[in-house]
Amino acid sequence: MDNVTSTENVKFEIKSVQENILLDIIKDICNDTKSKLSSKLIGKVNRIIADCDLTHHTSLHKLTTADESSSTILGFMHQTATELSFEEQTELNTEIVNKIQNKIPTFTSELENLKQIMGAGKKSRKEQIKELQSSLDEKLNILKEQENEKVELMMEWLNHRVQDVSSFGTNTSEMLTLKTRILELKSNSISNALGIEWAPLNVPTSRRLETLAAAAWICLVLFGEAACILLFVQLVYSSYWYLVLLYGIWMLNDLEICNKGGRTIEWFRSCAWWVYYRDYFPIKLVKTTDLDPSRNYLFACFPHGVVCSGAFGAFATNALEFYKVFPGMTCNMITLGGHFRVPFFRDLVLALGCCASSQESLLYLLDKKNYKGKCVALIVGGAAEALDSHPGEYKVILSRRKGFIRIAMKSGAPLVPVFSFGETDVFRPLDNPQDSLLRKFQEKVRQLTGISPMFPIGRGVFQYSFGVLPLRSPITTVVGKPMEIVKNLDPTDEEVDDIHKEFIRRLIELFETEKSKYLKNHEKVNLVIT
């Protein structure tokens, strides 16, 4: 039975191939530019072929005449809307015969190949089925093995997850670590979206305290006076007005203390606040030579920077252990006299050992009759120099500043050049060229108030992109070698100029000698004196 079925299938396949060949010949004749058929006949044949394509012309057993009594090559033409006349069929048959005669060699070879294929198909039909069955069985076995492996991996993964969940249930620290990591990922996505670099969540407590100390300090510098004045006014109109009255009377009698050596409170200078403040940047104090504790010295400090971060830590607090770096010495920092006129705020400044920047105050501190082993730290450039503070630049105002030279000559105290490397890198002020509107506004306010209206741009408490907190950038305050000054109570301008020139030379020498130790791109950094 299988042989009969196989033979019928082969016959059908051969017939289908023959019919397809005949149809291809008719298409070739119609598409051949050298064909002898008329254009009218070619058009009819093409339309009939199109109709056959739409009705699956592969069943060319329908290619019969209209009465289906005799088979012709294009007998199916009578089943279409368009029919060929007898003359047209004769003309087309003639062309087909000629075309077939030209292709007989090709047809012969193709038929031989077809017979070989069919013969091989007759002989190996059952074998092909068996091979197909075995191939399918083999593939099914492979799929089963892969599925088993996937199930095993899934079970192993689930076991690990169960163990993790159980461990989190007994170890809350691991759960907190996971939550912290998730929050970090969320903060990173916010950072990418807003362009903000957020501070990490898992920061050690010491670093958080350092940031808090720096934040409290900058708030004290920027807003301390305004807050103290507001507090004073609030208390005046409160039920504690009598206390404010007593404080006001005492303050009026105490105004001159800033010119008489101040009122230092050592425990306040040594409190932990300033230790964390020091470590925030960090700030270092370096000496190049020892100082004689039996003499007094005038420290001429540069640069001012935005808010004197380095000089403040080194000379207004004990965080850098000035008394150990220079045994037997004490230090007072000089600031504007106006700070000592603000209620409450003046007491904080005095507690840090600060004194007024008047000639009376400086001469009192440097007088050997009053003190020995006293170092007076003066920021020579002052508020005007703060306007030129920009990262990577060191521009100091010194050419027209000669008052400190006269103070040193009148007191006979040696002049000591002091330079804070990295001071200008802790803030990123707005660009303010000399002729800009911003610079003109700043200069005008400074002339009226003595304070430069800076716009310090640093970082925030919880992010690093913007804010008023200083940046974490190291500051190294280097104390140079003393410059001996002969006491002269009434120096001439020429004598002052000579000392001034020598001091500039020593300051430049200190900068050039030490900058390679504390600045990264020291080759490109120069000291500009204006």
Residues 472-488: tens digit of each pLDDT: 999 999 999 999 999 99
What pLDDT was estimated at residue 115? 67
- Would you say 283 and 379 are in contact if contact means Cβ atoms under 8 Å apart? no
- Would you say 467 and 428 are in contact if contact means Cβ atoms under 8 Å apart? no
**Candidate from 6-10, 359-363, 427-431, 458-462 with smallest mean pLDDT:** 6-10
Percent of the chain with pLDDT over 90: 50
**What's the pTM value of the predicted model, to 2 decimals?**
0.64
CA dihedral for 484, 486, 488, 493, sign (positive or negative): negative
Count the neighbouring beta carbons within 10 Å of the beta carbon of residue 73.
18
Q: Which tens digits make up the pLDDT trace of 16-68? A: 666 677 777 777 777 776 667 777 777 777 777 776 655 544 444 334 334 44
What pLDDT was estimated at residue 98? 74
DSSP-derived letter for residue 482 is -
What pLDDT was estimated at residue 69? 39
Question: Residue holding tokens 């050992």?
Answer: 353
What pLDDT was estimated at residue 521? 87
What pLDDT was estimated at residue 275? 97
Query: Which residues have CB under 8 Å from 271's CB, separation 6+?
Result: none
Output b/e per residue, 42-66; b: 16+ Cβ within 10 A: bebbeebbebbeeeebeebeebbbe
Q: What is the mean pLDDT of residues 57-86?
A: 46
Binning pLDDT at 50, 70 and 90, where does residue 97 land?
A: confident
With vertex at residue 483, the alpha carbon angle to CA 479 and CA 484, rounded to the nearest 5 degrees, is: 140
Over 90: is that where the pLDDT of 511 sits? yes
**Rounded mean pLDDT of the chain?**
82
What pLDDT was estimated at residue 82? 46
What pLDDT was estimated at residue 56? 46
Binning pLDDT at 50, 70 and 90, where does residue 10 land?
A: low
Q: Which tens digits make up the pLDDT trace of 270-297? A: 999 999 999 999 999 999 999 999 999 9
Looking at residue 163, its amino acid is: Q
**Candidate from 5-19, 325-339, 455-469, 516-530 with smallest mean pLDDT:** 5-19
Binning pLDDT at 50, 70 and 90, where does residue 74 land?
A: very low
Q: Which tens digits make up the pLDDT trace of 152-208? A: 666 666 666 656 555 554 455 555 565 566 666 665 665 666 667 777 888 899 999
